């Protein structure tokens, strides 16, 4: 599902720890601040991010979307 990066930043700010980001087959834990920066960069570029609901707080960043 596509989501608003603004809404996701607000949700992200409520998380006490970092977030898993999946890029391709890599799954890495990054800080909430780093992910907020990522959202802000995506917003600036008017791109979308796809959230995979079955993966919890994991983001699937499609290399063709950004």
Question: Which run of H or of E encompasses 50?
Answer: strand 50-51
Does residue 63 have a pLDDT over 50?
Answer: no
Burial of 22 (0-12, 13-18, 19+ CB in 10 A): middle
pLDDT in tens, 17-44: 666 666 667 766 677 677 777 777 766 6
Distance CA 46, CA 32 (A): 21
The verdict on pTM exceeding 0.85 is no
Classify residue 66: in a domain, yes or no: no
* Number of independent structural domains in the chain: 1
Classify residue 19: in a domain, yes or no: yes
Classify residue 35: in a domain, yes or no: yes
């Amino acid at each position: 599902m596509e989501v608003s990066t603004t809404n996701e930043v607000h949700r992200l700010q409520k998380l006490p720890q970092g977030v898993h980001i999946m890029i391709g087959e890599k799954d890495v834990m990054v800080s909430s601040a780093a992910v907020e920066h990522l959202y802000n960069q995506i917003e600036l570029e008017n791109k979308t991010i796809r959230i995979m609901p079955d993966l919890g707080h994991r983001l699937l960043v499609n290399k063709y979307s950004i």
